[in-house]
C-alpha cells in the first residue's frame, strides 16, 4: 500500500522544526503555480525567476506567521502578491512590449482563418496571439491585472481571491468584470469584435 503524501500543514509543521526537506517539498509542490502567477503579473522571465525565489525565501523566513486558518496556497499567494507589488513600487519602468507598436506594425500577418492555422504558420500565429494577450494584460492597472491573472489564469475561486486580496467577494467580482472589459477593449483592435 502506498504512503500518502503529507499535507501542506504537516510539511509546514515539520519545516518549523528545522526540517529543510519538508520545506523543499512545499516549494516543489507550489513552485510552478507561483512562477506562473508571477510571470503573468510582471511579464519578464528574469524578473519572474528572481521574484519567485524571493517569495519562497520570504515564506521560509515567515513560516511562524502561517497560522493554518487559511490554506497554505492562499498564504503563499498573499506573500507572492506583496512581493510583486513591492517590485512594481521599486521599478520605475514596467516590463512591457508596446502593444501600440504591434497595432501599428502593418507588416505583421493578418489573423488567418482556422483551416490555415495548421503547421508552422499556425504555430507562429498562436505564439503571436499569446504574446499579444500577455502584453495586453500587462497594460492593465495593477489591481485589475492581479485579479484577472489569479482568477482567469490561475483558476482561484472567488472566496480564495477575496481572502488573498482582503476584499469582499462582491468587490472581487466587480473588479474582475472591469478587468475583463478593459482587456477586451485593448484586444479588440487586434482581434476584432466578438460576433
Query: Is the pTM higher than 0.75?
Result: no
Burial class of residue 179 (count of CB atoms within 10 Å of its CB; 0-12, 13-18, 19+): buried
Confidence of residue 45 (pLDDT cuts 50, 70, 90): confident
Residue 139 belongs to some domain of the structure: yes
> What's 142's domain CATH number?
1.10.10.10
122 and 77 within one domain: no
CA–CA distance, 103 with 8 (Å, rounded to integer): 46
119 and 71 within one domain: no
> What's 6's domain CATH number?
1.10.1740.10
Note the pLDDT of residue 120.
67
Residue 100 belongs to some domain of the structure: no
Residue 67 belongs to some domain of the structure: yes
Which domain-ending residue is among 76, 91, 106?
91
Which domain-ending residue is among 29, 57, 91?
91
87 and 133 within one domain: no
pLDDT > 60? residue 160 = yes
**Percentage with pLDDT > 70 across the chain:** 80
Instruction: Output phi, psi for 96, to 5 deg.
Output: -130, 150
Residue 64 belongs to some domain of the structure: yes
4 and 81 within one domain: yes
Higher pLDDT pick, 123 / 99: 123
pLDDT > 60? residue 117 = no
CA–CA distance, 38 with 50 (Å, rounded to integer): 10
pLDDT > 50? residue 114 = no
User: 3-state class of 87 per DSSP?
Assistant: helix
Confidence of residue 106 (pLDDT cuts 50, 70, 90): very low
134 and 74 within one domain: no
What is the arithmetic mean of pLDDT over 67-80?
A: 89
51 and 17 within one domain: yes
Domain range for residue 177?
A: 115-195
The structural domain count of the chain equals 2
Amino acid at each position: 500500500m502506498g504512503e500518502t503524501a503529507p499535507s501542506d500543514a504537516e510539511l509546514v509543521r515539520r519545516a518549523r522544526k528545522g526540517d529543510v526537506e519538508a520545506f523543499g517539498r512545499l516549494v516543489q509542490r507550489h513552485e510552478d503555480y507561483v512562477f506562473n502567477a508571477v510571470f503573468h503579473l510582471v511579464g519578464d522571465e528574469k524578473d519572474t525567476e528572481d521574484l519567485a525565489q524571493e517569495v519562497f525565501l520570504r515564506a521560509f523566513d515567515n513560516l511562524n506567521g502561517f497560522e493554518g486558518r487559511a490554506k497554505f496556497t492562499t498564504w503563499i499567494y498573499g506573500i507572492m502578491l506583496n512581493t510583486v507589488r513591492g517590485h512594481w513600487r521599486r521599478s520605475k519602468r514596467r516590463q512591457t512590449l508596446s502593444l501600440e507598436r504591434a497595432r501599428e506594425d502593418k507588416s505583421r500577418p493578418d489573423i488567418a482563418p482556422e483551416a490555415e492555422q495548421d503547421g508552422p504558420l499556425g504555430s507562429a500565429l498562436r505564439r503571436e496571439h499569446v504574446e499579444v494577450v500577455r502584453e495586453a494584460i500587462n497594460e492593465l492597472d495593477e489591481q485589475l491585472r492581479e485579479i484577472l491573472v489569479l482568477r482567469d489564469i490561475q483558476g482561484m475561486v472567488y472566496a480564495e481571491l477575496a481572502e488573498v486580496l482582503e476584499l469582499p467577494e462582491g468587490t472581487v467580482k466587480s473588479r474582475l468584470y472591469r478587468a475583463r472589459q478593459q482587456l477586451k477593449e485593448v484586444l479588440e483592435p487586434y482581434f476584432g469584435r466578438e460576433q
